[in-house]
Copies of this chain bind each other. A is one copy, B any other.
Amino acid sequence: MATELEQLKERVAQIQDLAAVARVLSWDQQTMMPPAGAHHRADQQATIRRLAHELLVAPETERLLEALRPLEESLDPDSDDASLVRVVRRDYEKEARVPTELRVEMARAAAEAREVWVRARAESDFESFRPALERNLDLRRRYVECFDDFDEPYDVLLDDFEPGTTAAEVRAVFGPVRERVVPLVARLRDRDVDDGFLRGEFPAERQAEIARDLVDLLGYRPGTWRIDHTEHPFASGAGFDDIRITTHYDPGNLEFVLAVVHEFGHGLYEQQLPRELGRLPTGRSCSLGIHESQSRLWENQVGRKLGFWRLFYPRLQQAFPQQLADVDVERFLSALNRVQPSPIRIHADEVTYGLHIVLRFELEQELLAGAVEVRDLPHVWNGRMHDYLGIEIRDDADGVLQDTHWASGLIGYFPTYLLGSVMSVQIWEAAKRDLPELDDRVERGELAPLREWLEQHVHRHGRKFLPQETLERATGSTIDPAPYLDYLERTYG
């Protein structure tokens, strides 16, 4: 069986290589590619997707998995090899149900819809985007039809991003969030916070220097990272030695700071994935939700707290003396953490952010079920934004057209943002139990213990276990909205 194991490893390593290539191509498209090249890129991504699919669903994969069943059963389920067979079997059994042509059409439709969305958003013209979104949605319905082992159709989509997690489980988390955060936002929104100094002139080049200092302080491995400017920040890369984060340097404000800390959290997770599992699927990240728990932990529990700013604020003041010389660190921090409903998710504060996700999660389920028609989406969106956040949407570009996800065919992805925020609080509290005086250490710039704790308790598992199992190993509990909600009310209420 040693031979079959090696053969399986070689086969899935190629699939991982293709996935890494797809990430590099996507990064390139968002940062470097001449815009006219989009149609070439769509062809390339469709071919990469097709070949990865074919490698995974080939009869040879099934033969190897069958041959390896006795080995898997003889090993400790936590072992690297048993985990590998288990993870590949799960991937195989899902992917084998999906016809190659459907996979390719999903990839191609998404690439084309993204181009349409860019123009539609620029012109705030939802109608011009509607057919592309309907096509993406229809393809997801056809995708769901490939499966029969689910409680509700949405589970199939969600499983692609948060494996093993169901819509019912998400509702059990998001329901309490909506119940407790909507009134919290209503209470906080009228507070008067002086934050005018966060808007002004902040030259982009100086922001870029600070971004580099910031990841340096937080602790990246030199020679393995790069930071670029994009319209929307993201983290990507080809592996633990090729990590690429991006951020947006808006010369009119300081939003880049927390965005960099956020993307650092993603990048650190990638950097600390288990090297010994190198090109294997078990060596990748666990899920989007767990990924987001890492970015949110750094953004919210480090980047929004006084200890960190006592450490880093002098650097920011020195870079922008005109704006910040007269602002002390406490005043700066309360401006940074101002709760102020925004129509735009990516500008949301820590408290209101979750409601943006609850809204998208609800709409995705309603669209998939046909309870909301695509043509009615702007109307429903705007109404619910008013109900949850008390704001008026004047323009679809600032409403239903703001995110790229649905254009990119990513339906079932949004919930992972809030799942990640919720889990990040559970993980932070577990880390604090193990690491005495963690807040003080942050203030002293001693971030290595936190990085190492995360590596030991979260990162080193890679994708060996499902997200809820991984969370339980790290914290002793599966997902629970109470610590997150208690934390928000304690911190902001």
A371 in the interface, Cβ–Cβ < 8 Å?
no
Interfacial residues of chain A within 384-414, with CB under 8 A of chain B in the complex: none
Within the assembled complex, what's the spacing in Å between the Cα atoms of A34 and B41? Answer: 22
Q: Nearest Cβ in chain B — how far from A224, in angstroms?
A: 4
- Decide if A32 touches B226 in the complex (CB within 8 Å): yes
Q: Tell me the bound Cα distance from A404 to B41 in angstroms.
A: 28
Among B33, B47, B238, the residue within 8 A (CB) of A18 is B47
In the assembled complex, the CB of A269 is this many whole angstroms from the nearest CB of chain B, namely: 16
Known contacts A223-B34, A226-B34: does B39 contact A238 (CB below 8 Å)? Answer: no
A34→B242 contact, CB < 8 A: yes
Q: Are A242 and B14 in contact (CB under 8 A)?
A: no
- Say whether A357 faces chain B, with CB atoms less than 8 Å apart: no
In A25-43, which residues have CB < 8 Å from any B CB? Answer: 25, 28, 32-37, 39-41, 43
CA distance A46 to B20 in the complex (A): 13
- Complex Cα distance, B225 from A33, in Å, reads 8
For chain A, give the interface size range.
35 or more
**A241 interface residue (CB < 8 Å to B):** yes
Q: A479 on the interface (CB 8 Å rule)?
A: no
Q: How far is it, in angstroms, between the C-alpha of A380 and the C-alpha of B41 when the chains are bound?
A: 46
- Judged by a CB distance under 8 angstroms, whether A21 is at the interface is yes
Given A28-B24, A36-B224, also A47-B242 (CB < 8 A) = no
Q: Which of B13, B20, B50, B224 contacts A34 (CB 8 A)?
A: B224
In the complex, what distance in Å separates the CA atom of A155 from the CA atom of B223? 41
Check B50 against A14 for contact (C-beta < 8 Å): yes
Say whether A456 faces chain B, with CB atoms less than 8 Å apart: no
Select one of B13, B46, B221 contacting A43, CB under 8 A. B13
Is A279 at the interface (CB under 8 A from chain B)? yes
Would B34 and A241 count as touching, CB distance under 8 A? yes
Is the beta-carbon distance between B37 and A238 smaller than 8 angstroms? yes
CB-contact partner of A21 in B14, B44, B225, under 8 A: B44
A13 to B35, CA, bound (A): 22
| A481 interfacial by beta-carbon distance below 8 Å | no
Does residue A184 face the partner (Cβ distance < 8 Å to B)? no
* Distance A57 CA – B179 CA, assembled complex (angstroms): 61
Complex: how many Å from CA A14 to CA B51?
9
Closest approach, in angstroms, between the C-beta of A325 and any C-beta of chain B? 31
Interface-centre pick from A28, A35, A44 (highest chain B CB count, 10 A): A44
Residue on B nearest A15 in the bound complex, by CB: B47
A17 within 8 A of B: yes
Q: How far is the CA of A20 from the CA of B48 in the complex (A)?
A: 11
Chain B residue at minimum C-beta to C-beta distance from A39: B241
Which B residues touch A51, using CB under 8 A? 14, 18, 51
A-B contact pairs, 16 of them (CB 8 A): A17-B44, A17-B46, A21-B44, A21-B48, A24-B24, A24-B28, A24-B44, A32-B226, A33-B242, A34-B223, A34-B225, A37-B238, A37-B241, A40-B238, A40-B242, A41-B238
